A and B are shown apart, each in its own frame.
Chain A
Amino acid sequence: MVDPRKTTSAQWANVWLGLDVGTDIALANTIAREIIHSGLANTDFITRATSSFEEYAKSVEPFTLEEGERLTSVPAGLIRELAHSYAKADRAQLCWTLGITEHHNGTDNVFALINLALLTGHVGKYGSGIVPLRGQNNVQGGGDMGALPNKLPGFQDIETDQRARLRFETRWGASIPAKRGWHLSQMFEAMERGELRTLYVIGENPAQSEANVGHAIKLLEGLEHLVVQDIFLTKTAELATVVLPASANWVEAEGTVTSSERRVQRVRRALNPPGNARDDIEIVCEIARRLGHDWGNPTAEQVWDELRSLSPIHAGMSYKRLEELGGIQWPCTDENDPGSLFLHGRLWADPVVGPLAPFTPVDFLPALDTLSEEFPIRLTTGRRLDSFNTGVQSGGFASPLRRPETLNLSPQDMAKYGLSDGEIISISSRRGSIEAPVLTDVTLHPGLAFMTFHFPDEVNTNILTIDAWDPKSGTAEFKATAVRVEKLGSQTELGRSSSKVEALS
């Protein structure tokens, strides 16, 4: 387990590597060098299935175990142990979540992990691989369906895959610009430049979820026209010119979602949506109609069948088969295809089918929001078990685990700053200040602080976070903020409400 915090999962792990926030590449490159120097690299696989190994080996050469320890604060012995056990394992997976991707160099972090899988051949085999664990029920499906600036559904490139683009144009009877669009971070920059003046937001709450959220709200407020389609009147919807009440698409509508393992599964309508709320498909088709295009009133299945006719990796997934098989993992190219448990099996064919898998050497660059005398504490953000993102959904149930948002600090830092549990403190970053109670957290090492952004109405954590973003993915660096804390001299009651067993009257 590699995590700056000794999380519950880390407490279960055989070994925990509590690295400093933002030093993932240093750790991965150190592991790589140790594998290479110990003769544990899978040279057969590297020779047959990969390219650019020499360049990669050279790039990790400075990362000795000692240098790795210096950069990451993980003891050299532990790094060595991980390198050896990973390289020698019969099957091994590298799984990660936003701790890898929500950095200014998130894509490079992922490349560093892919390099390790290629170095050891832990890819393209049952039980091995590189696995981004998705944090939302359809974040995989969103990408699969083309909610990316440069992709049509099924990961068909909008700029380079002319044949795919033609298929879509023929089917839709419209021309598609062969030019990538903006991703979320670029959209906000375009708002700042005044180039983006109208925004249509579906099922997202950027007025609370964006990094450096004070700035994001100003940009949203400056739009000429903001349309928000959501199941709630979110903080973003409160800023909107037009709000389109939608139905909850996991329980008030028919459709599909795609999980972390690329498994497409059916969601079904169990409830009638409240009031005037309408199905997303109905809303989109109605807007099209008002814009002069009659798309009819398609069912979710008809929309899905159109997708299947245009996205080869989904072609074999009829609603009937999704039902019968309990979901199907893409690629599934025809109705006899059972779907695919894992990807990249082609790398083990002899000779390799298709292009060789390239190593991508990556440089270690520390977090952008640097620690200083003024901002000496590293704040990282994440989730708590019973809550979810800005709390729009999870805030609705009476969770017995819930307690007020706090800034968590190590016992050493609590003592250093003379703080006691429940004391309200001021937390400041280079972007703004908020107030929150402080809480001792033994899972943190000195110099590390933790917060969530589940309760933005009470504690608006994203006032602090930095909106610097990864130029390759567009993802902001939520995980690494430099802060300082200051005493204010007031106290609040913390902890779960004291519970007493009550007899049934």
Chain B
Amino acid sequence: MSDSVAVSIQRSVSVTIDGIEVAAPEGSSILQTCRSQGIDIPTLCYMETLTPVNTCRLCMVEVQGSRTLVPSCSRKIEPGMVVITNSDRVSESRKMVLELLASSVDMSIVSDELAGWMELYQVDKERFGPMAAPSSLGERETMRAGHHHKSDGSKAATVFEPVKIDNDQYVRDYSRCVLCYRCVEACGTDAQNTFAIALGGRGFEAHITTEFDVPLPESACVYCGNCVAVCPTSALMFKIEHDMRQDQSWDESRQTITRTVCPYCGVGCNLEIHTQDNKIVKVTSPLDHDVTEGMLCVKGRFGFEFING
């Protein structure tokens, strides 16, 4: 028994990518069109399940007739558009973006894909000089716009600061934060609608924070962990993983991931159970499952300790 559901009919649009004419559904982004053709483009802030916000500038491509490079994640294809994804100009731009980020942010834990791009573009994280020492805890929150002291040029400024640990479920290591905005989107209208976090400060002091920079337990946070799930650089990390990395017991080569269903309510959220040595060490949710597209609540995300005993 099947019931018909109205499907909107999409027109097809023809564009030329790297010299090859391709067709894709109207409304597709350049990035989606490229990936459907097997042409990969590096991304950092983009995520399939979130609204593109164009913050990282890593996915820039050339579009004929456009003075500047355009972000492929958000730019929709248009009939006759000519896109170049692999020119020297594009490569130089991506390398520059990655070097600016890597010189000021700890990018030592990123996806294999991103690590591959960094290698491809021969990213030199010390291109702008040795990295400046970390700020003390809370110092960056107190800096106000215009109070930034000009560097003497001997050191590259960094966003390094101590890890914020203020609850038992996840930690915030903003030394790793590239301000991609994914966490803010997941906490806001793209998923959770809790609005516990937003961008604070300006310029180099811009940082993700709670209202009035309060600790998480005093904020509106409901501990769904969806911000952690979308973070591309492990700036947000589950406490178990953080602690295991600290004592060097975190070992992904010894972990298995099993898909199952949450033991709590009747929504049917799918869980990916990450286990190491017959213990659950992390819970994620598959992006490609249409019940919640990777999002969970506090019980599904963290409520597994009764199993670990």
Interface on A for B, CB 8 Å cutoff?
12, 126, 133-140, 232, 248, 250-252, 257, 259-261, 263, 265-272, 274, 326-327, 331-333, 337-342, 345, 385-388, 392-401, 496-497, 499-504
- Interface stretch, picked from B53-61, B88-96, B100-108, B158-166, is B158-166
Q: Which residues of B contact A12 (CB under 8 A)?
A: 193
B260 within 8 A of A: yes
Given contacts A400-B217, A401-B222, contact A259 B289 (CB under 8 A): no
> Do B302 and A399 touch across chains, with their CB atoms under 8 A apart?
yes
> Do A401 and B298 touch across chains, with their CB atoms under 8 A apart?
yes
Q: Which residues of B contact A399 (CB under 8 A)?
A: 169, 223, 298, 302-303
Which of B3, B137, B223, B258 neighbours the largest number of chain A CB atoms within 10 Å of its CB? B3
Q: A46–B279 Cα gap in the complex (Å)?
A: 57
Given contacts A137-B263, A259-B267, contact A400 B278 (CB under 8 A): no
Given contacts A274-B309, A499-B218, contact A134 B265 (CB under 8 A): yes
- Interface stretch, picked from B32-40, B71-79, B268-276, is B268-276
Given contacts A326-B290, A396-B305, contact A401 B223 (CB under 8 A): yes
Q: Is the interface of A mostly helix, strand, loop or mixed?
A: loop
B297 within 8 A of A: yes
> Do B268 and A259 touch across chains, with their CB atoms under 8 A apart?
yes
Q: Which residues of A contact B180 (CB under 8 A)?
A: none
Contact partner of B215 among A136, A333, A500, CB < 8 A? A500
Contact partner of A388 among B1, B221, B264, B273, CB < 8 A? B264
> Do A270 and B304 touch across chains, with their CB atoms under 8 A apart?
no
* B54: min CB distance to chain A, Å: 28
Q: Which residues of B contact A332 (CB under 8 A)?
A: 1
Q: Which residues of B contact A136 (CB under 8 A)?
A: 264-266
> Do A499 and B258 touch across chains, with their CB atoms under 8 A apart?
no
Known A248-B307, A251-B307; 18 more pairs at CB < 8 Å: A126-B5, A126-B6, A251-B260, A251-B273, A266-B261, A268-B260, A331-B1, A340-B1, A340-B3, A341-B5, A393-B306, A396-B307, A397-B169, A400-B217, A400-B221, A499-B215, A501-B138, A503-B137
Q: Is the interface of B mostly helix, strand, loop or mixed?
A: loop
> Do B2 and A338 touch across chains, with their CB atoms under 8 A apart?
yes
Q: A327–B221 Cα gap in the complex (Å)?
A: 31
B155 within 8 A of A: no
Q: Which chain B residues numbered 189 to 219 have a C-beta less than 8 Å away from chain A?
A: 193, 215-218
Q: Which residues of B contact A337 (CB under 8 A)?
A: 1-2
B262 within 8 A of A: yes
* B51: min CB distance to chain A, Å: 20
> Do B167 and A400 touch across chains, with their CB atoms under 8 A apart?
yes
Q: A257–B164 Cα gap in the complex (Å)?
A: 38
19 contacts between A and B (CB under 8 A): A137-B262, A250-B263, A251-B258, A251-B280, A265-B268, A268-B260, A386-B298, A393-B264, A394-B306, A397-B169, A397-B302, A397-B305, A399-B169, A400-B216, A499-B167, A500-B166, A502-B165, A504-B162, A504-B163
> Do A393 and B137 touch across chains, with their CB atoms under 8 A apart?
no
> Do B266 and A260 touch across chains, with their CB atoms under 8 A apart?
yes
Q: Which residues of A contact B260 (CB under 8 A)?
A: 250-251, 266-268, 270
Q: Which chain B residues numbered 243 to 291 have a C-beta less than 8 Å away from chain A?
A: 256, 258-268, 270, 273, 275, 278-280, 289-291
Q: A277–B205 Cα gap in the complex (Å)?
A: 54
> Do B166 and A502 touch across chains, with their CB atoms under 8 A apart?
yes
Interface readout for B1-39 with A: 1 if CB under 8 Å, 0 if not?
Answer: 111011000000000000000000000000000000000
8 A-B pairs with least C-beta separation:
A134-B266, A259-B268, A396-B306, A270-B258, A398-B168, A499-B217, A397-B305, A260-B266
* B282: min CB distance to chain A, Å: 12
Closest to A136 in B: B266
B127 within 8 A of A: no
> Do A270 and B275 touch across chains, with their CB atoms under 8 A apart?
yes
Given contacts A250-B263, A259-B268, A503-B162, contact A400 B306 (CB under 8 A): no
Q: Which residues of B contact A398 (CB under 8 A)?
A: 168-169, 305
Which of B164, B169, B307 neighbours the largest number of chain A CB atoms within 10 Å of its CB? B307
Q: A439–B222 Cα gap in the complex (Å)?
A: 20
Q: A341–B3 Cα gap in the complex (Å)?
A: 7
B299 within 8 A of A: yes
Contact partner of B304 among A257, A266, A269, A397, CB < 8 A? A397
Interface readout for B129-168 with A: 1 if CB under 8 Å, 0 if not?
Answer: 0000000011000000000000000000000001111111
Given contacts A251-B273, A397-B305, A499-B166, contact A272 B266 (CB under 8 A): no
* A388: min CB distance to chain B, Å: 6
Closest to B263 in A: A250
Q: A272–B2 Cα gap in the complex (Å)?
A: 39
Q: A37–B307 Cα gap in the complex (Å)?
A: 56
Q: A250–B306 Cα gap in the complex (Å)?
A: 12
Contact partner of A248 among B218, B263, B289, B303, CB < 8 A? B263
> Do A396 and B267 touch across chains, with their CB atoms under 8 A apart?
no
Given contacts A126-B3, A267-B261, A504-B165, contact A137 B266 (CB under 8 A): yes
Q: Which residues of B contact A270 (CB under 8 A)?
A: 256, 258, 260, 273, 275, 280
Q: Which residues of A contact B259 (CB under 8 A)?
A: 266, 268
Q: A284–B169 Cα gap in the complex (Å)?
A: 37
